[in-house]
Amino acid sequence: MPKTWTAWLPLALVGCGVELSPVEDSLTDGAVEAGETDDGAIAPPDRAGSTGASRGAVVSPVPRAPRVTPAIAVAPPPSAEARAMAPRPPPPTAREPVAIEPQRFADLLDGAARATPGVEIAARWTREASVDQIVIAGDRVSYSSGGAFHVASLSTGAVARSATFPDCRGCPARVTGGLYALCGDEIAAVDPATLAIRWRRDLGNRASQIADGGGSLFVALSGSYTDRTQDVLAIATDGTTRWRATLPAGVELRADGDRLFAFERDPSVWRLDPDSGRVLWSRTSDKAILDVARVSDEVTAVVGLEHLWLVDGEGRDLVVRAPTRNLGTVAGGRLLTCDDEGRLHAVDARDGREAWWARVSVAGEECAVLAATDGTVLVQGAGRLIALDTTRAAPPAPAVAIRGRFEDVYTKHGERGVAVLVGGRRVHADEHGRFAATVHVNGPIEVRLADEPRVREVVWPDSRDRHRVRLSNYVEPDESCH
């Protein structure tokens, strides 16, 4: 699902030694505004991972195993004490599916209908992790990160168990609903509760991408540079192949519940039947397609380089507009989307009222909703897995003292008067390049040069109230092939 597409170049940020204490500026940010909180349930947003798919699909049916949809337990509600401390929620609403009018959704992406500010909420816990796959089951959350698998408490983030498999690696696409490892030409299903391997399948070739949705796993197999096609397999929960389709090389897959899409950037998109692999509809555009995402049961967003199309269940245009950088996730009738500064907003898709917002990232870093349940939203932001508490307003932001030094790699010393932004406010270094500020912010704090956004460090306050940073204007060269 949607991500922040802009990323900064790698930076060289090194540790800081003992410094004298320069004059400190006191800064304030992130104050809680009055407003309503919402204690309604948030349905788990079905995120999809990347995968490969097709232009004119040739499908080979395979005897199909019974389809099993895994049961997902709902986390217990907050305690009576917690609810007593939280702002009083509005009356509960019905749990029937929410109809989202396409033009209203398009307006929300622009922020045009976000008139009423919500309350700020904060994290229950954070962990340093870049998450590939995630599963919420009862009071536990299981996820893969950096090739390892972890089971943690949903309420505290404490890791109960971890596992790695010597011949396996993590998956190359974000997957929600199951845990899988790629082991050479094999794929392995990992039990989210015990981290034991349930089954392994030899695919006959390495997987390039996977996507998980509707009780099935969709796997795109790698091909050579000269291949014009690639195979996509639908694998049941017991590891048996349900169908195999031959698709054009270089496409990506998006799976979301009972929907499966394949698209290529040069540019075509197809909706496939997840039960058979048959093409239900297809369409092309003049410019590259960047992503495909579900908006509601009847509306799909196709994100292009120059346009965003909202289409119906048959692929017909409903709304066409300029593209948005952050598409967001629709969950429980709310649009969850990040702004350019790394704040996540939850906006009611029916009336445009903002229920809450939270600071989860900084400008240019990833901000993506991974999963949700009653009272908790799991987010990937600035290198952290964040569990947001949606049942109460954030407490007063703690005071965080940040002291640092900027060193010019060309002169090998500090620079007097250089402007530094600490949590969005400007301070100036002394003749030795030293600077200091105290900020009040719930969430990550960006410290960077005012004139060079790539020279920066992201500070996570956690339990410490004092942090030291060191900034250098050395930027690692771009060694990519593009």
Give 226's DSSP letter.
Answer: T
pLDDT at 294: 85
User: Within 13 Å and on the Cβ side, how many CA atoms surround 35?
Assistant: 20
Burial class (CB in 10 A: 0-12, 13-18, 19+), 92: exposed
User: Within 13 Å and on the Cβ side, how many CA atoms surround 443?
Assistant: 30
In this structure, the strands spanning 384-389 and 123-128 are antiparallel
> Does the structural domain 25-31+397-472 have CATH classification 2.60.40.10?
yes
pLDDT at 223: 74
Spell out the domain ranges in the chain: 25-31+397-472, 58-75+98-389
pLDDT at 284: 86
pLDDT at 413: 61
pLDDT at 1: 44
pLDDT at 478: 53
pLDDT at 189: 93
pLDDT at 239: 92
In this structure, the strands spanning 179-183 and 186-190 are antiparallel
Please state which of the four CATH numbers 2.10.60.10, 2.130.10.10, 3.40.50.300, 1.10.443.10 is assigned to the domain occupying 58-75+98-389: 2.130.10.10
Q: Which residue has the tokens 């019905």?
A: 94
pLDDT at 192: 93
* d(C-alpha 437, C-alpha 264), whole Å: 48
- Give just the sign of the alpha carbon dihedral 446, 447, 451, 452: negative
| Per-residue burial over 178-210, b = 16 or more CB atoms within 10 Å of its CB, e = otherwise | bbbbbbeebbbbbebeebebbeebebeeebbbb
pLDDT, one tens digit for every residue, the chain (482 residues): 444 333 332 323 333 333 333 434 433 333 333 333 343 333 333 433 333 333 444 444 444 334 333 332 333 444 544 444 444 334 333 334 556 788 888 877 776 556 678 999 999 999 999 998 999 988 999 999 988 999 999 999 999 999 999 888 877 777 888 899 999 899 999 999 999 999 999 998 888 889 988 778 999 988 777 788 889 999 998 999 999 998 888 888 998 878 899 998 778 899 999 999 999 999 888 888 888 988 888 889 998 888 889 999 899 999 888 766 667 788 777 889 888 889 999 988 877 889 999 999 999 899 999 998 888 999 999 999 999 999 999 999 989 999 999 988 776 666 678 899 999 889 999 988 899 999 999 999 999 999 888 889 999 988 778 999 999 876 665 554 44
* d(C-alpha 366, C-alpha 26), whole Å: 28
pLDDT at 76: 44
pLDDT at 435: 94
> Left if phi > 0, otherwise alpha if psi is -120 to 50, otherwise beta: which for 23?
beta
pLDDT at 59: 46
Q: At 81, phi and psi to the nearest 5?
A: -65, -40
Cβ–Cβ under 8 Å, residues 390 and 373: no
> Left if phi > 0, otherwise alpha if psi is -120 to 50, otherwise beta: which for 427?
beta
Reduce the DSSP state of residue 104 to 3 states and report it: helix
Cβ–Cβ under 8 Å, residues 220 and 52: yes
* d(C-alpha 183, C-alpha 177), whole Å: 20
Q: Return the structure tokens found at 278.
A: 């048959």
pLDDT at 475: 61
Amino acid at 308: L
